[in-house]
Amino acid sequence: MLEEELDSQELLYEGKGKKLYRGSQEEEVIAYFKDDLTAFNAEKKGQEKGKGILNCQISSILFELLETHGIQTHFIRKLGDNCMVCKRVNIIPIEVVVRNVATGSLTKRLGIKEGTILPQALVEFYYKDDALSDPIINDEHAILLGCVSHTRDLEFLRLQARKVNQVLVGFFNKRDLRLIDFKLEFGKDKADKIILADEISPDSCRFWDKTSNEKLDKDRFRQDLGGVKLAYEEVLKRITTIK
Ligand code: TMP
Ligand code: ASP
């Protein structure tokens, strides 16, 4: 679907990777996946033609997979190549990061050696606030900031994040990809139920090839490694190739 075709719809929100438009039903939104790439809190900007389509396809498949494992998500259906019809939610301003292997900000912050396999998946919360560069927070900060009202909601986020990790690690392992880490966002639906939202794609995950450890995600853009689109295409190819 072309961006112009959505112009008649009301733009509700524009983020770094997606635009959200009003859907045809009150409880629906249309997420349009952009070709824009940003890193380091948008200090670094780029574009990769066709990336939006790839992320939309990858995300749709992964949301459907998670639904079959009993994890509720905002995904309703795909619309064209680069749009997704989603349930309308109020996003909880917490980025839930799950890590299986140390890299990225974890190695920088705590000095854990790059590539160290963590004894168990580590779940971290970051406050979703660009002006503050998404700082890491603990449960008390999350309550203090009003991200959620109850500690039990934070426990639910952690539980869901671990379930997602368990499903995705197995799924990608069969496709010769190591799921190194990823970021999830959740929202509250009209019944106040917390469901998985946003996207799950090479923009929000790190994937390393099982044999070569080649990076097949947005680190190719962050670290100027080149071949960004090829890497995303490879991820989609492996996801759709049944083993
Ligand atoms: P980090 O190592 O930079 O903290 O990133 C951890 C994971 O979260 C990695 O898979 C990339 C993802 N991520 C996002 O999706 N958005 C962000 O803004 C950041 C900082 C990380
Ligand atoms: N998503 C963040 C940005 O767009 C950071 C990142 O993914 O590296 O700047």
| Per-residue pLDDT tens over the stretch 124-165 | 999 999 999 999 999 999 999 999 999 999 999 999 999 999
Spacing, Cα 127 to ligand 1 middle (Å): 12
Q: 155 CA to middle of ligand 2, Å?
A: 25
At residue 6 the predicted structure's pLDDT band, cuts being 50, 70 and 90, is confident
Q: Would you state the pLDDT for residue 1?
A: 65
Query: Does the predicted TM-score (pTM) go above 0.95?
Result: yes
Q: Summarize pLDDT for 20-34 with one digit per residue, the tens.
A: 999 999 999 999 999
State the average pLDDT over residues 199-212: 98
Binned at pLDDT 50, 70 and 90, residue 5 comes out as confident
pLDDT at 242: 75
Domains of the chain and CATH, by start: 3-87 (3.30.200.20), 90-226 (3.30.470.20)
- Nearest protein CA to atom 7 of ligand 2, as residue: 39
201 lines ligand 2 (CB under 6 A): no
Is 165 in contact with 178 (CB distance < 8 Å)? no
Cα–Cα distances (Å) from 185 to 47, 98, 105, 157, 240, in that order, read 23, 11, 18, 9, 24
